[in-house]
Structures are given as structure tokens and as C-alpha cells.
Amino acid sequence: MVLAEELAKQQKSISVAEFFEKNKHLLGFDSPVRGLITTLKEAIDNALDACEEAGVLPDILVIIKKTPSGSFTITVEDNGPGIIPEQVPFVFGKLLYGSRFHQVRQSRGQQGIGISAAVLYAQLTSGVPAMVISRTGAKTKAHRFTLMIKTQTNEPDVLSHEEIDWSLPHGTRIELEFESSMSAKKRLLEYLKYTSIVNPHARFRIEIDGESATFERVSGEVPPCPQSIKPHPYGIEFGILKRMAAASEMTVDLFLQEEFSRVGKKTAAEILAHAGMKGSLKASRLEPGDLKKLLTAMQEVKIPAPPASSCLSPIGEDLILSGIEKEFALDFVKSRSRAPGVFSGHSFVVEAAIGYGGRLEAEGTARILRFANRVPLLYQQGACAITQSIAAVNWKGYGIAQSGLPVGPVLILVHIASTNVPFTSESKDAVASIPEIEKEIVLALQELGRDLKAFLSRRDRNRIAEDRARAVCAIIPDIARKVSEIVEKPVPETAAIEGRIMRRVVVKRELLDGKVQIRIDNHTTKPVELTLYDISPDTGEGATVAPDFSSDLDGEVTKCWRVVVEPASSWVTLYPGAGGGSLTVQGMDESKMVVMDCEE
Amino acid sequence: MVLAEELAKQQKSISVAEFFEKNKHLLGFDSPVRGLITTLKEAIDNALDACEEAGVLPDILVIIKKTPSGSFTITVEDNGPGIIPEQVPFVFGKLLYGSRFHQVRQSRGQQGIGISAAVLYAQLTSGVPAMVISRTGAKTKAHRFTLMIKTQTNEPDVLSHEEIDWSLPHGTRIELEFESSMSAKKRLLEYLKYTSIVNPHARFRIEIDGESATFERVSGEVPPCPQSIKPHPYGIEFGILKRMAAASEMTVDLFLQEEFSRVGKKTAAEILAHAGMKGSLKASRLEPGDLKKLLTAMQEVKIPAPPASSCLSPIGEDLILSGIEKEFALDFVKSRSRAPGVFSGHSFVVEAAIGYGGRLEAEGTARILRFANRVPLLYQQGACAITQSIAAVNWKGYGIAQSGLPVGPVLILVHIASTNVPFTSESKDAVASIPEIEKEIVLALQELGRDLKAFLSRRDRNRIAEDRARAVCAIIPDIARKVSEIVEKPVPETAAIEGRIMRRVVVKRELLDGKVQIRIDNHTTKPVELTLYDISPDTGEGATVAPDFSSDLDGEVTKCWRVVVEPASSWVTLYPGAGGGSLTVQGMDESKMVVMDCEE
């Protein structure tokens, strides 16, 4: 027998379940700790996607319990639309099965692998089948399944299926059991925190071995579910065009208009003219040579970008800001959503934010928060195009130290929303290096970098000015004393001058020829809103600016003014009286104000 | 209709070909340039694996040609055992089909994806089917196929199949066509260079658009093909054990001995005792609880490491050394092969080498050469456990600057050979972070680091000593002159003293009382091998050490000695004569030798 025949005997088909069982690290199941995080991530991704599709505010319950045998039971329950019983075995018991793979729109799940991979991991490591409960509406009963995956064929193996009563009117619950470790807890809470930042409409309740915590929703609005769109002509692959044409029963003219995004009558005609082709030909009859001409023409004609607003669901500048401000109490924070872009026919949007100071650590490299389609990316930071793009920006130009990544109390958030996020592996930890996306990230960060630079130089200018002012103010009293000695006059009050030099607000009450004058000088760069309480026997009647209210208590009259003073402006009131009593000023930090009550 | 039913309509199965068509970057087909490299890599991996299995010295021809339409035809031809015609459509036209996935042994291909992914990429981007020729022996004809992949089903689509005459008696040739760019050329040659370093038994001929080059084999020995072994009990997953037990018809006792590597009668008995189980039970009848006990026992009992020598094929320290020395002409180079290790039941070996100086660039980070199962890894250096392990070593402790990676004229080579290399993605660019492997890499590099440090400090010591010696020698002639003036004697010859201080070899010929003396003093730290040619009218007869030969030419006699002088030793010969003529010394660098011919 020839050798080739010997070798042929070992050739065989490998099921995709066998493949991922052997290469489970590709799916994010490298270790028991990682396995726990990945399982929760996949289950929560599905729950959020399903609630979004159904327009329901997500209420997600996560329970992690240690079993007597030392392994962990992981439960995720949602109030989504549920899954019809016929589909449950396939959704959870077959890899590469799902509803979102063929749709051109943003969703967390894309591959139809995630949750069934978790089922595969559980049965591989603990041998325990998955338990799934799902109910599609109040009028139907819930269905409970226990199931596994037949690895050699990648088909579901249903061990039990029964109808049961269930507390939720609709929703899905999955329970898996495998070995893990509580050291996953920190990462897990971090994951939930970041997930709730970018999903402000979702509530997460979590019970870890007795302890419980809630991440409340801060928005009561379900973001609109992105709509599936047709592929865009730009960047479409030849093989896909060929397949679409072969399956079409239309003329080329209609084929272009019906099967592609942004192609109307006019654009179709332009494409056909470029290709030198008649629109009345049957699309399915086109030869490879014709299809190539058509493809070339589709790339050459000017076609508007895909309707990203319907198929994508960016978080938005405001929600990003409020999410990170709450968490880090920053001195500076700005966010940017870039205009939608396209790579290989897929729409995408880059959103980014930069924060500075506040509770961020002053030492070490910047804190980086990466998100893709509203899902936080926790692993493989170094391998991610987001990280590489951040490192590609010249941060020194924006006044930030840099050693690869920026260094200092800096936070950088980047969110990529796309109809097809190009991850570097099925575990969806890192975004692959796609020039179009990297360029958008860099541009967003450069815009933000310029804002940060403006903030930092303003802060620095302020600091320098303040240092100088402080130096000047330090010698003013000495100068005053010296000059007084020479001219033999009493030492003058220098506080008002100091206030001016230090760019503060100076409030002064003094007696001038039987009249009381209250004067506010705003030497700062911002308008100030102050409330003055002038308490003395004077009634304040006849004041050039009358008090907003006054009250007499046993001959002591409280006169109150509420005043807004613009920067570099003054406010004055003058009334007949003898002064005495006291002046109190409220509305601003004492350190930024000089109050001189010349009656005291 | 309930919403869940609406949603259910979109649920469907995704073929693995559809999945990878959409996610082709996961397989290393991110871009046309990358696509070319990946295609060649996959085809060459298959060719080398097949030749190794057949025990044939690989002769691999690579042809890259621009077509009139601007795309490229990529051809790879090998002299391997060929593929029987029944299998050709599946090997090239179906993803997840192969012979090496289920075998526990080192091979380049593991997944049954690579070459069919290249076929998929070609048909997606250019629409051109793959052309395959294969012949299994001189007695049969060759078979030529053109084929594609039916994406929606992941099944082969054979467009044509015919028997043809072919020049090779056995082998396989594949031709693919797609768009690419000549900018891949540099990477490609680099890939072939590194591939031939770690496959010294293979010859590569390459023709790129007219130009041709050959990477000759430097070893005529086919490395033994690694043998498939049974799984090792350590690190085996519960799900696998369950499946193996269910499929077995044996008793547990025999099951353990027959189905696992390194388990004999004694070890099996020990495992059973630990599990508290009778060996006579049928393996297929074991309940999950029993299997868990068995699994635990298998981890607790001491079992020798897997027989790595048969299932792995490391390159070996000598071949690594000769490969990199040839390429970089280094000042220092050392290599280490570590003892085999195990992770999750898979055997692996780490080999490493460090080079210093020579033609390496003095500036910038170290040059890193990564290999896995004799295949060079060219992409995603940053995401690779090899790179991370290199960065984890404290290189400053070994006298090397470090900024994450070591900095300076340093080369680091790491090769991981394993029955299952844990790559971070199907494109096999980077090794995943597995603690057992990282530890071995770090240990190998630390060993080599110590050797490098010894080299560097010796070099530094030598430099310092030489600097000092040079300073002393600079003043010796002055001292000699001064002393001569004082004692009123002629200035003595100081060259011999200088030779001693500078640790050189001093050869002196002088006339002493009618006799000629030749003396060699070796002040270096190494033995020296010199040849002396003493040419004068003297015959040299009666010499205390007779010349090895002498020849008389018109009265001028050449006397020749071949001499080995140990470090810190002398050699002397003395013969009657009048001297004159000349003394020539050969065998060592002139700068390290002082020759004093006192007749001159």
C-alpha cells in the first residue's frame, strides 16, 4: 500500500465543538477564573441583546454560589423576551448557531458561539449539564431544559425537558457549574461596573456567595435597537457579490437598488454606466468577468456612507461623560463621538473620552477603558488596536508624559461600535488592527488631546500667575509699612490690593461721610453669585441698590442682597447710616475672597 | 405572535466556512499582503509535515507570478507522499478537516483549517478556484483538480478532476490566485530564511516574478517524525475522561493502562487504590461520581512525564547555534534546550538562544526570533507569551539595558515545541499565556543570561586590564632611558617586558656565546600553536629541540619548528651557529605577539 493511503486513514472531519474543546483558550476559557468571567460576559451579552431587541429595560440577576463539592454554580437570569422551546437546545447546545451573525447591525453577540462555548466548558471541566429555563410570555408556561453538547457532532443533547411554573412572565435563566475561584470576584465587579457605565438603562443585581450588590440603572430609556441594513457597496468582497448575484432573480439594475445600502435609481445607473453594462441583464446570469467590472464600478462611484444612525448604537458624549465623572471625580473630562466610518463594507463609530486628575493615580501609565459594542474589554490590552492607537498619539505634544502609553493621572476611554467589530480572536478581548478604525481613534484622541492641552496650559498659566501674585503680595505689607514710615502716615489697608493681584473677589464695607458703602470687586475670570448679610442698627432705607429683603430684630436690622457680579466688574450700594454690626458674605470659597469690614 | 417567535425566525446555523469568511482576519488574512504570507506559510507547513511523515528530504518550490489582470498566482509544490484523489477535495475544500488534529504529537499543522482557509480567501477575493495536483507514487498517474468551498455548507465543490502526466514521481502542488502586493516580498524572504534555520533538512527554491533564489539544505538527515502518543493522565479534562471511558470496552484497570501514556500495571493499581475503586469494573459503566474520584486520583499519583522524546521534535542546541551564527556572525552565542514539561496534559519543550554583538544593531531593542513547532512566528510579537516572558526577565541583572525588552546588540531566539501549541488565535501568530510555558522560557533565558553576563564581565575585565597594561607600557621606554642615563649603560630592550605586561606571546631569537637561542614565552591565557621559520646560513644541527624539517637553498637553510606552548609557559631551543638571516613566526594575530629578532 502506498504511504499516501496510510496517511489518508487518519484524515477526518473535525467538529467545531471538538475544535473549540481543544482550543478553549481561543474563546476566553484559558483558566477557571477566566472561565467564570467569560461565562458571565456571554450570558449578560445575550441578555442585553435580547432585551434591546424586545425594547425591555433589562433587569439582570447574577448568582454565584459555591457548591458542597467545591465547584461554583453560575446563574444569569434576565427579563428578556425568552426563547421558544424549539430553539433552546440549539441556542445553548450548538456552536455557531444564532440570529445575529447574518444581520448587518451592531449587537454584542455576533458569532453564535459564546453561550454554547460556556456550556461546552462546563461539561468539559465538571461534566455537569447546563440548566436553562425560558418563558416567552405570561400566557405560556416556562420550559426547563437540561442539556449538553455532543462534541463529536456539535449537536445538542437534551437530557430533560419539562414545562414548569416560573415567577417571571418572560425571560431566560441559565445555570452552569464548574470549578473556579473567588479570585475572579474583583474582575467580575469591575466588569459589571464598566458594563453599567455603557449600559445606563440596565439594572444588575448580583449575589456572590451570600453577599449581594446592585448596579442601579441611571436611565429609564431603552436605547433603540439597531436596525439591520443591507451591505454597502464599498469594500464588499468579490465572493460575496458573486453569491448575492447568483441568488438574485432581479435585473442588475434592481439588484443594485434592492440588495445594497445607499444605492437608489441614480446611483445604480451611474454604477452601470461605469461598468459599461446594461441594467436589464439578469443578475444571476453575469459572468465572473462582468461581476469584476461591476465590483470595480461599485468602488469608483461616489456613494454616501452607510446609514450608521440606524444600524449603530453609540453611547453618546453625554452618557460617557456622566458615566466616568461619577466614577472618578475628574478635574478635566471631555468626550468625542466621531462621524461614522466604513471598513470592508462594515459601518463603525469611534467614541472616546479623556479624563485628568481627580481620583486618578498620579503615578504610572494612564488608565485605559476599552469598549466594543457596549461591552467592556478586560483582557489582552496589549494586543488591542485601541491600545496601539493610544500609544501612536504623540502625548508629549499635549503636555502629557509618555512611555509608549501616556503616563500620569490620565484616563482614556475608547468605544468602538460597529456592525462587525473585528476582534483578534473569538474570545472578543481585543480589536484587530484595522487602519480605518485606528485612524479614527487617533483623530478622536488628538482632538481630545488638544482640549486637554488647553486645560493644562490654562491650569499652568493660572499656577504661574498665582505663584507670582503670591510673591508680590508677600512683600506688599512690608512696602506699605516702609512707605508709611517715610511719609509718616498710618499703614494703609493692603487687603484690597492683594485681592486684586491674586484675582480674588474683594468685598469691602466702609463708612464715608455718614453713609455706609458696600462694594464688591470681582477680579476673577468668572461671574460670581454672592449673598451679603449686612447686620447693623441702620435700616438701609434710601440705599442706591435696595436690599432684596431686610428684617428688624430688636433694633438690629439684617439687610440682604443677592448679587451677581461679572468678571472684572464691580457692584456698589450706598445708604445713609452709622455702620457697626457685621458683614457676612456667602456663595463662594473663602480662600478666593477677601472680605474687608472696615467697621470691625 | 409573541416576540420570541419573531426573533426565532432569524435563528440559524452558521457554517464554519461562513464564520471564517466573515472573520478572515482570525486566520491571518487581514490584508492582501498578509494573505500572501499566510497562504505560503500554510502550504509550506503542510509540505514539511507531509515530507516528515514520509521520511523524505523536503524539496519545496514556491512560485509567485503577477497575472495580466494584476493579481498574483501563488504556487507551492512539494515532493511529499501526495494525497490520494478521494481526499484531495476535503483536504483543500473543507475547513476543519485533517489528519493531525486528533494526534498527540508535534506537527506544524494542528487544526485542519490553514490551507482550506487560503482556498476560501482566494475564492472570496478573486473568485478564482484553487488548482491542486497530487500524485502518490510513480506507478499511478497524477490527479489534477480545480475546486472551491461551498461556503454555506463548508463542503468541497469540485469543478474539474482529471488524470494527468506529471514530472514528479510523488508530491503535491497547489495554485491559488488573489490580489496582493510585492511589498510582501521582504517578509516572505524573512519567513523562508527563518524557516530554513529551523528546518535545516529542507530546500526551498523560490521564484518571484522572474527573480529566483534558493535556500539550500545544510543537513541531509530527515528529523524523525514525532510519534503520536496516548494522552497523559495529568491535566486531562473531566469531559474527555468521561468520553474515553464511555467508549471503552475494557475494565478500569486495563482502560488506564491502555488508553493513557506512562500508566503501567503498578501505576494503574496505585490510581485505583487512591480512588478506592476496583479495577475489575467496566470503564463504560462508571458513574460521574466515580469518574471524578478516578480523575482526582490520576492527578495525585506520581506518574512520569510524557515520553516527550518520541512525540516532540526539538531543533537541538547545535542546530540552533549554527543557524544563527551563520546569519549574524556573533561575538557571543549560547543555546539551551530545557527538559520537557507538561501543561493541561500536553508535552512541550522550550529551546532558547542568546546572541550578542557581531552584526547585530547596537541601538534599539533586542531582535527576537520566535518559533513554534519549527515554524517562525512573524506577527503579533507584542501579544505573544514569548515576548512577555522575555520582558519578565531582569536583564539589567545580566548587564543588559532594558526598557521592557532588553536593549542593545542582543538576539533572543525562543522555540516552543509541543503536541498542542496554545496559540492566541487560529492564525497561529502568537503563543497564549500559559504559566507552565512562560516559566520554562524564563528559566531558559535566565540560564543563558548568566552565561552572557560572564562573557560581558570577562570582556570588561579584559578591557580594563588591557587599558592598565597599555598605560604601564607607555612609560616603560621612558623609565628605561632615564635609568640608562643614570647608570650610564645602553638603553635595554623593553619589548619582552611589554609583551609580558600586555599578556602577549614573546618570541626572541638571540646570539649567546656562539649559539643561537630561540625562546617563546606565552603570557596569554590560552595555548598557542606557532610555526617558526628560522632562515640563516646555520644548519641547526645539534639543536636542543630539533627542527621539524629543514631545507638548504644555496647555503641559506630554512629551519622550521611547529610548536604548541601552553599558557604561562616557555619553549626554548639552542643550536650552535652565527645567526643572521631572518625569523618569521606564523599562527597568530600579529597584534598579540612580540617578535624580537636580536640579529636584525
pLDDT digits (tens, 9 = 90+) for B503-554: 788 888 888 888 999 999 888 888 899 999 998 899 889 999 999 988 888 8
State whether B529 and B428 are in the same domain: no
Contacts of B103 in chain A (CB under 8 A): 10
Mean pLDDT, to the nearest integer, of B268-276?
94
Mean predicted lDDT score pLDDT of chain B = 89
- pLDDT given for residue B1 in this prediction: 45
State whether A286 and A320 are in the same domain: no
State whether A160 and A246 are in the same domain: no
Q: Report B:53-72 residues touching A (Cβ under 8 A).
A: 53-54
Where does the pLDDT of residue B600 fall: very low under 50, low under 70, confident under 90, or very high at 90 and above?
very low
Helix, strand or coil for residue B406? strand
- pLDDT given for residue A2 in this prediction: 59
Query: In Å, what is the CA distance from A472 to each residue of A379, A466, A482?
Result: 53, 10, 15
B98 with A14: Cβ contact below 8 A: yes
Choose among B22, B42, B66, B23: nearest CA to B119. B42
Asked, for residue B197, whether it belongs to a domain, the answer is yes
CB-based contact A295:B126 (threshold 8 Å)? no
Q: Apex CA A579: angle with CA A574 and CA A581, to 5°?
A: 125
Of residues B586 and B161, more confidence is placed in B161
Q: Does A392 touch chain B (CB under 8 A)?
A: no
CB-based contact B476:B495 (threshold 8 Å)? no
Q: Report B:74-93 residues touching A (Cβ under 8 A).
A: 81-84, 86-87, 90-91
B124 with A98: Cβ contact below 8 A: no
**Distance (Å, whole) CA B278 – CA B273:** 8
Residue of B3, B177, B426 to mutate when probing chain A, most A C-beta within 10 A: B3
Q: How far is B6 from chain A (nearest CA, A)?
A: 10
Where does the pLDDT of residue A369 fall: very low under 50, low under 70, confident under 90, or very high at 90 and above?
very high
Residue in B83, B96, B126 nearest the CB of A13 = B96
Q: Does A103 touch chain B (CB under 8 A)?
A: yes
Q: Report A:517-536 residues touching B (Cβ under 8 A).
A: none
pLDDT (tens digit per residue) in A396-405: 999 999 988 9
**Cell numbers linked to B392:** 519578565
How many residue pairs from chains A and B have C-beta atoms closer than 8 A? 208
Residue in A86, A101, A127 nearest the CB of B14 = A101
The CATH number for B450's domain is 3.30.230.10
Q: How far is A355 from chain B (nearest CA, A)?
A: 26
Q: How far is A26 from chain B (nearest CA, A)?
A: 6
Of the given ranges (A63-72, A490-499, B128-137), which has the lowest mean pLDDT?
A490-499
Q: What percent of chain A has pLDDT over 70?
A: 99
Asked, for residue B23, whether it belongs to a domain, the answer is yes
State whether A512 and A420 are in the same domain: no
Domain end call among A300, A324, A352: A300
State whether A263 and A199 are in the same domain: no
Whether residue A498 has pLDDT greater than 70:
yes
Annotated binding site of B for ATP: 46, 78, 99-100, 109-116, 428
The CATH number for A53's domain is 3.30.565.10
Asked, for residue B363, whether it belongs to a domain, the answer is yes
Where does the pLDDT of residue B72 fall: very low under 50, low under 70, confident under 90, or very high at 90 and above?
very high
Q: Does B99 touch chain A (CB under 8 A)?
A: yes
State whether B195 and B60 are in the same domain: yes
Q: Does B51 touch chain A (CB under 8 A)?
A: no
Which of A314-318, A321-325, B141-145, B260-264 is predicted most confidently? Answer: B141-145
Residue type, B180: S
A424 with B103: Cβ contact below 8 A: no
Report the residue of chain A nearest B235, measured CA to CA: A125
Where does the pLDDT of residue B363 fall: very low under 50, low under 70, confident under 90, or very high at 90 and above?
confident
ipTM of model: 0.76
Asked, for residue A125, whether it belongs to a domain, the answer is yes
Count: domains in chain B: 4
Residues 6+ apart with CB under 8 A from A261: A104, A229, A230, A231, A232, A233, A306, A307
Asked, for residue A225, whether it belongs to a domain, the answer is no
- Number of residues in chain A: 600
pTM over 0.90: no
Q: Does B365 touch chain A (CB under 8 A)?
A: no
Strand order in the sheet with B569-576: B569-576, B515-522, B505-512, B593-597
Mean pLDDT, to the nearest integer, of A361-376?
92
Whether residue A473 has pLDDT greater than 80:
no
Domain end call among A163, A180, A215: A215
Mean pLDDT, to the nearest integer, of A58-83?
93
E-strand stretches of A357-404: 367-372, 375-377, 401-403
Residue of B15, B18, B22, B179 to mutate when probing chain A, most A C-beta within 10 A: B22
**Distance (Å, whole) CA B385 – CA B389:** 6
Report the residue of chain A nearest B178, measured CA to CA: A238
A81 with B3: Cβ contact below 8 A: yes
Q: Does B287 touch chain A (CB under 8 A)?
A: no
Whether residue A600 has pLDDT greater than 60:
no
Report the residue of chain B nearest A14, measured CA to CA: B96
Q: Report A:426-485 residues touching B (Cβ under 8 A).
A: 426, 430, 432-434
CB-based contact A372:A416 (threshold 8 Å)? yes
Asked, for residue B106, whether it belongs to a domain, the answer is yes
pLDDT (tens digit per residue) in A165-175: 999 999 999 99
- pLDDT given for residue B22 in this prediction: 87
Mean pLDDT, to the nearest integer, of B24-29?
88
Helix, strand or coil for residue B230? coil
State whether A96 and A134 are in the same domain: yes
Which of A487-496, A502-511, B347-356 is predicted most confidently? Answer: B347-356
CB-based contact A411:A328 (threshold 8 Å)? yes
Q: What percent of chain B has pLDDT over 70?
A: 99
State whether A107 and A172 are in the same domain: yes
Half-sphere exposure of B218 (CA within 13 A, CB side): 15
Q: How far is A336 from chain B (nearest CA, A)?
A: 28
pLDDT (tens digit per residue) in B531-542: 999 988 998 899
Asked, for residue B226, whether it belongs to a domain, the answer is no
State whether A185 and A245 are in the same domain: no
The CATH number for B246's domain is 1.10.8.50
Whether residue B358 has pLDDT greater than 70:
yes
Choose among B82, B73, B81: nearest CA to B175. B73
Burial of B127 by CB count in 10 Å (0-12 exposed, 13-18 middle, 19+ buried)? buried
End-to-end CA distance of chain A: 116
B112 with A14: Cβ contact below 8 A: yes
Where does the pLDDT of residue A581 fall: very low under 50, low under 70, confident under 90, or very high at 90 and above?
confident
State whether B326 and B434 are in the same domain: yes
Where does the pLDDT of residue A476 fall: very low under 50, low under 70, confident under 90, or very high at 90 and above?
confident
- pLDDT given for residue A318 in this prediction: 87
Residue in B21, B136, B430 nearest the CB of A2 = B136
State whether B379 and B342 are in the same domain: yes
Asked, for residue A470, whether it belongs to a domain, the answer is no
B124 with A8: Cβ contact below 8 A: no
Whether residue A492 has pLDDT greater than 80:
no
Residue in B16, B239, B433 nearest the CB of A125 = B239
Of residues A438 and A319, more confidence is placed in A438
- pLDDT given for residue A1 in this prediction: 45
Contacts of A22 in chain B (CB under 8 A): 101, 420
- Name all contacts of B395-401 with Cβ < 8 Å and 24+ positions apart: B395/B449, B397/B449, B397/B453, B398/B449, B398/B450, B398/B452, B398/B453, B398/B456, B399/B452, B399/B453, B399/B456, B399/B457, B400/B449, B400/B452, B400/B456
Residue of B67, B88, B101, B390 to mutate when probing chain A, most A C-beta within 10 A: B101
Where does the pLDDT of residue A56 fall: very low under 50, low under 70, confident under 90, or very high at 90 and above?
very high
Of residues A239 and B476, more confidence is placed in A239
Q: Report A:154-193 residues touching B (Cβ under 8 A).
A: 170
State whether A553 and A413 are in the same domain: no
Residue type, A238: F
- pLDDT given for residue B297 in this prediction: 94
Q: State which residues form the domain around A281.
A: 238-300
Q: Does B380 touch chain A (CB under 8 A)?
A: yes
